[in-house]
Amino acid sequence: MRTFHPRRGRLSGRHVEALDQLWPRYGLSLPPHFPVGTRLDLTELFGRGAPVVLEIGSGMGDATVAMAAADPGRDYLAVEVHTPGIANLLALTERHGLTNLRIARGDALDLARHLLPPERLDAVHAFFPDPWPKPRHHQRRLIQPAHVALLRTRLVAGGTLHCATDWPEYAESMLDTLTADPELLNAFPGYAPRPAHRPVTKFERRGAAAGRPIFDLIFHRG
């Protein structure tokens, strides 16, 4: 069951050009089927053995590019399914001359489950995932026990799982789920102060404009 709802979007000429010209350089296509035992070599993907951040749902890419540019000592693997967002992120990556950013097209949970080696990620970011507000859709939420357990196993000891949302009910659910994981430790009592290193995203601006509070949750693998 997918945790995202594919969105349609028109590709501009600039986006088509970015996909054609830049995908071979920065892109990672996830296969439709995953052979048993296959693992993604992140050192080969980035050309060095730096710590890696998994960015789940990079949207149009502005926040991801800002974080990667400000954090050259780590590599960023962004995962997105929205084609215009992927194309825009490719263009931004090239424009800023970033060598520490790659973009994967597909389901981040499939990537984590089948391709990412255990204890390899320095951080996982899940900023403003779809809240699926209707109760009958809650099973589609990204932050739920089985998904959190999977993502946690891909973190190194001391690695960070950082989530953010503007839906209070989802924030409570996130806090309960992350707190219940036996190997995650909350970096703060309850919700975290908004960290300066997390850029303001489009979804955050939209939530703030609607008067919704913003919640950050920062947990570390013990």
**Over the stretch 35-84, which tens digit does the pLDDT of each residue have?**
777 899 999 999 999 999 999 999 999 999 999 999 999 999 999 998 99
Check residue 133 and give its pLDDT. 84
Among 75, 130, 166, 216, the one annotated catalytic? 130
Beta bridge partners of 184: 221
pTM (two decimals): 0.92
What ranges make up the beta strands (E) of 72-212? Answer: 75-80, 101-105, 121-127, 155-165, 184-186
Q: How many CA atoms lie within 13 A of 167 on its CB side?
A: 17
Burial of residue 165 (number of CB atoms within 10 Å: 0-12, 13-18, 19+):
buried
CA distances from 35 to 32, 56, 125, 149, 216 (A): 10, 23, 26, 22, 36
- Third-level CATH fold of 42-221: Rossmann fold (3.40.50)
Q: In the structure, how many helices (H) and strands (E) does the chain have?
A: 8, 8
Check residue 185 and give its pLDDT. 98
Q: Is 130 a catalytic residue?
A: yes
Q: Tens digits of per-residue pLDDT, 119-173?
A: 999 999 999 999 978 888 789 899 999 999 999 999 999 999 999 999 999 999 9
Burial of residue 183 (number of CB atoms within 10 Å: 0-12, 13-18, 19+):
middle
